[in-house]
Amino acid sequence: MNIDWNKNQLIPAIAQDENSGEVLMLAYMNEEAYNLSLSTGYAHYFSRSRQRLWKKGESSGHTQKISDILLDCDADTVLLKIAQKGVACHTGRKSCFFTSALQDRVILDREVDTDAIYGVVDTLYHTILERKNDTTTQKSWTKKLLNDKELLLSKIREEADEVSVAIDRESDKQVIYESADLLYHTLVGLGYRDISPDRVKQELARRFGVSGIEEKKSRKG
């Protein structure tokens, strides 16, 4: 049985611990990710948020070695039997399934320091997404911003102006402080739009080596 990639350009891929049977995560594969998983023996996925192919563990080292790949009866979902190195979830938990809907609480603790693995920007962004999807917490500043677009936009404008003023005539310490405020509010804006900061990094990488004049010319038309 073969996957009809013309019909299904992205298919769900479930990662299951080969020994315990515990379901660790669900991601998506396109044809390239599926073929790379087959040829390398390590799980590759296509990130819808980052809009690119990625090897599980490419940043963290928490790879998934595949022992088997099972297709469902319609050949539009795959189950990966894997040996998980480290943890499966970007939050630092063993599994991505760590919130009980019936108990209305988190049931798994973090096992690794995600700041050290992914960097503070990516960790902060994922924390923002957690706040966005949390229906129980309404009092946080992040949640308030996400629930009020006009407030969010006004804060981004305000912080951008404060960075400009700080760069013009204030101390290095104040420049850093105001820049951190701007970065935080910008990340909340990205979270509001569900745009991963990885896509910003990709855009910067695309521009690297291209002069500012040429880059601006490429936007016209």
Name the domain boundary from 100, 128, 154.
100
Do 136 and 194 fall into the same domain? yes
Do 93 and 129 fall into the same domain? no
What is the distance between the alpha carbons of residues 12 and 17, in angstroms, rounded to a whole number? 17
192 token code pair: 């509001």
Task: Report the domain count for the chain.
Answer: 2
What is the distance between the alpha carbons of residues 5 and 15, in angstroms, rounded to a whole number? 20
Q: What percentage of the chain exceeds 70 in pLDDT?
A: 94
Q: What is the pLDDT of residues 36-83, one digit of tens each?
A: 999 999 999 999 988 999 999 998 899 999 999 999 999 999 999 999
Under DSSP, the state recorded for 90 is T
Q: Where are the alpha helices (DSSP H) in the chain?
A: 31-40, 114-118, 120-133, 141-147, 149-169, 172-193, 197-207, 212-219
Domain residue limits at 143: 119-214
CATH number of residue 72's parent domain: 3.10.20.810
Q: What is the pLDDT of residues 177-210, one digit of tens each?
A: 999 999 999 999 999 999 999 999 889 988 887 6
Residue matched to tokens 């040429």 = 214
Name the domain boundary from 70, 100, 130.
100
The pLDDT of residue 67: 98
Provide the pairing of β-strand 11-17 with 78-84.
parallel
Answer yes or no: is pLDDT of 142 > 60: yes
How distant, in Å, are the alpha carbons of 52, 203, 207, 213 from that of 210? 22, 12, 5, 8
2 within a domain of the structure (yes/no):
no
44 within a domain of the structure (yes/no):
yes
55 within a domain of the structure (yes/no):
yes
| Cβ-contact 12, 77 below 8 angstroms | yes
Under DSSP, the state recorded for 149 is H
Do 134 and 205 fall into the same domain? yes
What is the distance between the alpha carbons of residues 41 and 35, in angstroms, rounded to a whole number? 10
Instruction: Please report which helix (H) or strand (E) contains residue 91, including its range.
Output: none
Report the 10 Å Cβ neighbour count for 220.
Answer: 5
185 within a domain of the structure (yes/no):
yes
Under DSSP, the state recorded for 83 is E
The pLDDT of residue 108: 93
